[in-house]
Structure 1
């Protein structure tokens, strides 16, 4: 993903139809309300990942809807989000991520949530699950290898976050349909 021409975050509040515009050059991330998607959202997320690999798909239990839809994200926050995506499989520390945005960790956390509707930690976990969906679609197994490769401490932690975000355990996902 190039950061020079991507500058907005879309927060879906009521529906997920008509997402063709996600391929447009201005979308960095899409925030989807988990409640809106329903309990079984794994196939939808997998389809979005395969259709729009350049867009970060974020699922949040209660996204902060005060962020203006399609609001322009400052370049330094885009750099920080890109850093999280590029290094999501590694241990990440808030101080290091904030330094990418040239902000204190406290100011960075507030600003990040303001524009992305989720905390930097929630963004990192969603980035790891996005990576896991990609690896599983490519046939990587067993799940313990996927978990460690995506930056989770073990398969149990991976399974907990995967199920919380997708609504299904990773063992139930079939990349062929």
Structure 2
């Protein structure tokens, strides 16, 4: 399945003249830790499938859908027999839309859509993924447009349902809907300024809420705490910088808003399961060592 792997970086070989790659996969083959800029949507069709992330393992049953966010380091353990859809669309051109970028941020590193946790949308997304497979295989005129339109509909369904299913809160969902535009702006600001010294008090003032109320609403909207969200964005930026030749770990830490190398290394290992140096070494193949 992985056609081009340098260290732990996978170059997705998209279908000719498209930004799409889909496997109707039946291979009995394990795949090592790797990452790629594209999202990856995996659904077992026959038998299960195991996805391994830096700190967790996810056992997918038939019909469960795992969405791996861009830049997430993961590996795959295949059963002796089975079949699964593995869909890798290039979403770079979609991320100018702030809703898409923020959805990837709050889902990161992955999201699993099951019929138990997402009863309102699971069957629809499953049907969309099957339709995408058929459209991809048949290669009809305007198939790429059709597939991307279904992908966008899928992201809309997930985005409008994700927070409700992943945040344990006493707040009425109506409150979240009322303040959603404001928190979209807050997330936009954090994404753009994550390398700066962002303080909870200052961002709460920007929102117009008290610090306590802002913390509660921010977690309701994003599914994570303010500082954890900031660190996720910093580590995502660090991951992109670490693969550049000639860039030191110290430079990356400072350019991503960390005040000490030790805190950067600790946070990187928590999120990625390896140190920045190990990540950099795994990325570069013997012929591409920096």
Scaled by the length of structure 1, the TM-score of the pair is 0.64
Relative to structure 1, the CA distance from residue 176 to residue 35 in structure 2 (aligned partners, 3 Å threshold; closer, same or farther) is same
Partners of 2:245 and 2:186 lie apart in 1 by: 30
Deviation at 1:141, TM superposition (A): 1.6
Which residue is 1:89 aligned to?
Answer: 195
Report which of the two has the higher share of strand. Answer: 2
For residue 150 of structure 1, the aligned residue among 248, 251, 256 is: 256
Partners of 1:111 and 1:159 lie apart in 2 by: 30
Which residue is 1:26 aligned to?
Answer: none
Which residue is 1:45 aligned to?
Answer: 72
- Structure 2: runs of 5+ lacking an equivalent: 1-38, 43-52, 59-67, 75-89, 96-100, 111-116, 118-161, 167-175, 286-290
Relative to structure 1, the CA distance from residue 33 to residue 117 in structure 2 (aligned partners, 3 Å threshold; closer, same or farther) is farther
Deviation at 1:44, TM superposition (A): 5.8
Partners of 2:241 and 2:218 lie apart in 1 by: 27
4+ runs deviating over 6 angstroms: none
How many residues are treated as equivalent by the alignment?
140
The C-alpha deviation readout for 1:48-84, integer Å capped at 9, x for no partner, is xxx5563344359xxxx99314986701111111111
Deviation at 1:113, TM superposition (A): 0.5
Larger RCO, structures 1/2 (Cα 8 Å, 6+ apart): 1
Partners of 2:91 and 2:195 lie apart in 1 by: 20
- Are 1:74 and 2:170 counterparts? no
Scaled by the length of structure 2, the TM-score of the pair is 0.41
Which residue is 1:18 aligned to?
Answer: 41
- Structure 1: runs of 5+ lacking an equivalent: 1-15, 20-31
Contact 2:242 2:248 in 1 (8 A): no
**Bigger radius of gyration:** 2
Deviation at 1:99, TM superposition (A): 2.6
